[in-house]
Amino acid sequence: MGNLLLVLGVLFAALFIVVKLTERHAKPVDEQQQAKMSRIAMVSIMLLLVLGLIRYYTGA
């Protein structure tokens, strides 16, 4: 139980640091670039889901 709380604490601290750094140094994204990134993300997610299903049904 102690190890779990330690890992969760470290993850929370790392996430907090990353969020604070990106809030300070992030540049705004225009709509065209955001749309492009959204399409890439959707294709990647669908590909991962399909690959996961294939892996599940083949037992690999």
Query: Average pLDDT by consecutive 10-residue portion of the chain (60 residues)?
Result: 93 96 87 95 98 92
Q: What is the pLDDT of residue 14?
A: 97
Q: What is the longest distance spanned by two Cα atoms in the chain?
A: 47
Amino acid found at 15: L
Q: What is the pLDDT of residue 35?
A: 96
Q: What are the structure tokens assigned to 23, written together?
A: 């809030």
What is the residue range of 37's domain? 2-58
Q: What is the pLDDT of residue 59?
A: 87
In the chain the beta strands, taken as DSSP E runs, fall at: none
Q: What are the structure tokens assigned to 5, written together?
A: 């709380």
Q: What is the pLDDT of residue 54?
A: 96
Number of separate domains in the chain: 1
Q: What is the per-residue burial (b if ≥16 Cβ within 10 Å, else e) of 18-48?
A: eeeeeeeeeeeeeeeeeeeeeeeeeeeeeee
Q: What is the pLDDT of residue 26?
A: 82
